[in-house]
Structure 1
C-alpha cells in the first residue's frame, strides 16, 4: 500500500510540474496563469508577478515562478500593469515606468523601475 501511495504522490507531483511548466492553452483575453520562471513567456503575454514555489524547484532564493497575463484580444484602451521582464506585444505602449516589489525577477536587482503601465492603442 505504501509503494502505491508513494507512486501516486510522485505522479501527482509530476503532473503539477508539467502543468506549471507548460504554456497556457487557449487562455481568454486577460487570463492570468502561473508558470515556472524557466518557461519562456509566450507571445501575446506579459509577466505580471514573480514569486517562489517548491513546485518549480529551489533556486537559492531567486524567484522561480511567474504569473503571466494574456493580452491578445483585449480591447483598445485597456490599461494593464506588467513587469518589465518581458517585451510587451505590438499594439501596446508604455505610459509609465515604476518599481514594484512583485516584479523583482532577479535577486539584488535594487529598486530601479521594473514595472510598466501599458495601454492598448491598436
Structure 2
C-alpha cells in the first residue's frame, strides 16, 4: 500500500515539470503562464517575472523560471510592464524603463534598468 502514494507523488512531480517546460498552447490576450527559462518566449508574449524552481533542473539558485504574458490581441492603448529579457512585440513601444527585483534574469544581477513599460500603439 505504501507504493501507491509514492507513485502518485512521482507522477505528479513529473507532470508539473512537463507543464512548466511547455510553451503556452493557446493563451488568451493578457494570460500569464509559467515556463522554464530554457524555453524561448513565444512571439506575441513578453517576460513579466523571473524566479527559481527546482523543477526546471538546475543545481544553482540562478533564475531558471519565468512568467510570460500574452500580448497579442490586447487593445490599442493597453499599457503593460515587462522584463527587458525579451524584445517588445510589433505594435508595442517602450514608454519608460526602470529596475525591479522581479525581472532579475541573470546570476550576476545589476541595478541597471531591467524592465519596461510598454504601450500598444497599433
TM superposition score category, shorter chain reference: over 0.9
Normalised by the length of structure 2, the TM-score is 0.94
SS of match in other structure, 2:87: coil
Query: Residue in 2 aligned with 1:108?
Result: 108
Distance 2:109 2:15 in 1: 33
Distance 1:46 1:59 in 2: 26
Query: Residue in 2 aligned with 1:98?
Result: 98
Query: Residue in 2 aligned with 1:74?
Result: 74
Cα deviations across residues 32-57 of structure 1 (Å, max 9, x unaligned)?
11111111111110000001122223
Query: Residue in 2 aligned with 1:26?
Result: 26
Any runs of at least 4 consecutive aligned residues in structure 1 with deviations exceeding 6 A, and if so which?
Answer: none
Distance 1:99 1:107 in 2: 16
1:35 and 2:40 equivalent? Answer: no
Q: By how many angstroms is 1:106 displaced? A: 0.3
Distance 2:87 2:112 in 1: 17
- Structure 2 gaps, min length 5: none
Give the number of aligned pairs.
122
Distance 2:116 2:23 in 1: 23
Distance 1:64 1:111 in 2: 19
CA RMSD of aligned residues (A): 1.2
